[in-house]
A and B are shown apart, each in its own frame.
Chain A
């Protein structure tokens, strides 16, 4: 049944080469942990991706209950964590995943650095990777405010003050982020929410695509 459905589509759209191109490529011996166990260091990029997928999924589900509004934000988080089945688990996935993704990115970066994989011709992919690291930091910063509890609020106050300390354009950046020159409040929360769930994830998706396409075009860097 499934096979026939697949054949029907394939006959018309010739989809086999598309997934074959993605699925069929040799894993070089030096990155295969079955050959050299130490090659497990090559897994960190994939693990980063895996955790980002979990972050996307758990984040999507959390917005089913969360409201980005200063009156209700805290209560809605409390409700989804305490009253909804598996709420603690789903919020926990997003919470711990956020830290874990930074750990994985760090390990992935170390491996790329120490195997010299950033060298010509792969300089651009290193640049894209660093950009994604900044985006992940931004996601961490904006996401931290969303529960709208004391810790979130004061962490954001401090973060905004750091932004303000930038020479010349500091005040501008701060106002742009918080939505008001003085108050960290209603507009800050909605802005951070929009940045956290729409702008940064969209940018991250785009850059991940570029990252992966470049890997496929250039291949994995050779052994040490």
Chain B
């Protein structure tokens, strides 16, 4: 009989290690698929997003106008018609399409709606203001300019893609 001292790993330790190891493997086998299943929304790759026809170029002026456009939105197992809007104007030859979503906390901004602040986008929620090109006015709550839609013109029709931050 060899004494316990001659072993670097005692019988009890060996059993503890192997049992913990095997148990850990089994637990991981059960838990890992579920964890991956649960965090799937974070790891899903979002596509480039489609371009949606919004209006004709001939409709545009150098004053921002609001245009609503609808498209099919796919939300997991639920597909629905969703309406979005954009403030679009001509800046020389350039077409500028701004998102109406306030960059403070997400209310909807309006053009030229506040008598005290003409020719600005105004957010009624906390008085956020933006200049015509979307730049946020210092001293008001929003911290970044209005997001700008990707614009494409095909055969005189304006198509809008995703709204992206300007900075």
Show the binding face of A for B, using Cβ within 8 Å. 54, 57-58, 61, 64-65, 72, 75-76, 78-80, 83-87, 89-90, 93
Contact = CB atoms under 8 A, between A and B. Distances in A.
Interface string B70-103: 0000001110000000000000000000000000
Interface stretch (B5-13, B27-35, B48-56, B142-150): B27-35
Question: Is the contact region of chain B dominated by helix, strand, or loop, or is it mixed?
Answer: helix
A87 B76 contact: no
A76 B36 contact: no
Contacts of B30: 54, 57, 93
B36 to A, nearest CB: 5
Contacts of A57: 30-31, 34
A58 B34 contact: yes
Contacts of A78: 77
Of B33, B36, B37, B43, chain A has the most CB atoms within 10 Å of the CB of B37
Given A61-B34, A87-B37, A93-B30, 7 more contacts: A57-B30, A57-B31, A64-B38, A75-B77, A84-B40, A86-B36, A86-B40
A90 B76 contact: no
B34 A86 contact: yes
Given A54-B30, A57-B30, A84 B77 contact: no
Given A89-B33, A90-B33, A61 B77 contact: no
Contacts of B37: 61, 64, 80, 84-87, 89-90
A72 B77 contact: yes
A211 to B, nearest CB: 22
Of A64, A79, A85, A89, chain B has the most CB atoms within 10 Å of the CB of A85
Given A76-B76, A79-B76, A85 B43 contact: yes
Contacts of A80: 37
